[in-house]
Amino acid sequence: MIDIQQAKDLLAAAELIHSAETVAQAVTRVAGEITAKLGKTNPLLLCVMSGGVPFAGHLMTQLDFPLDFDYMHVTRYGQDTSGGALSWRSAPWTPVKGRTVLVLDDILDEGLTLAAIVERMHELGVKACYTAVATDKLNGKKKPIEADFVALTVPDRFVFGYGMDVRGGWRNLPAIYAMKES
């Protein structure tokens, strides 16, 4: 956990990558793409906790078709700034077998977490599994998965805001920032 003054100092020194308005416009665009692709499937939306919450919440309000909603908690980061071992903290409560599923997450970084989630969904017998991310990090690495729907891209830097935290804080920002480069 970061203390309030440290959090304020980090934000003051950070670089704005995408404004709140840009984020909102990108989510609206993705909602249209998802509606066109999944609007007749009554999908199950699965939010990846905790980072996917802002994206899922904003996106859902713009989908004008019936859907079910649930969550899962899978992480590689915890309070760290680089990925570690995959931790499955909570599986979806809603059965996924035979369903069209849309997994919603905050960032596609190295792709290991999202790839593992999709693999698990197939093991559980989904009819189809799609992925949507608020951000795709342009890190130049070969990723094991590409998201089906991407709102925004971000540079290969430590980013935070709009669901992504920095030392446990600032997930609640409506914009996306990058840590100051040293």
| Active-site residue list | 109
Q: H/E/C letters for each residue in 31-87? A: HHHHHHHHCCCCCEEEEEECCCHHHHHHHHCCCCCCCEEEEEEEECCCCCCCCCCCE
Q: Are 10 and 2 in contact, with CB atoms under 8 Å apart?
A: yes
Helix then strand then coil, % of the chain, to nearest 5: 25, 30, 40
Letter string b/e over residues 90-112, b meaning 16 or more CB atoms within 10 A of that residue's CB:
eebeeebeebbbbbbbbbbbbbe
For the chain, how many helices (H) and strands (E)? 4, 9
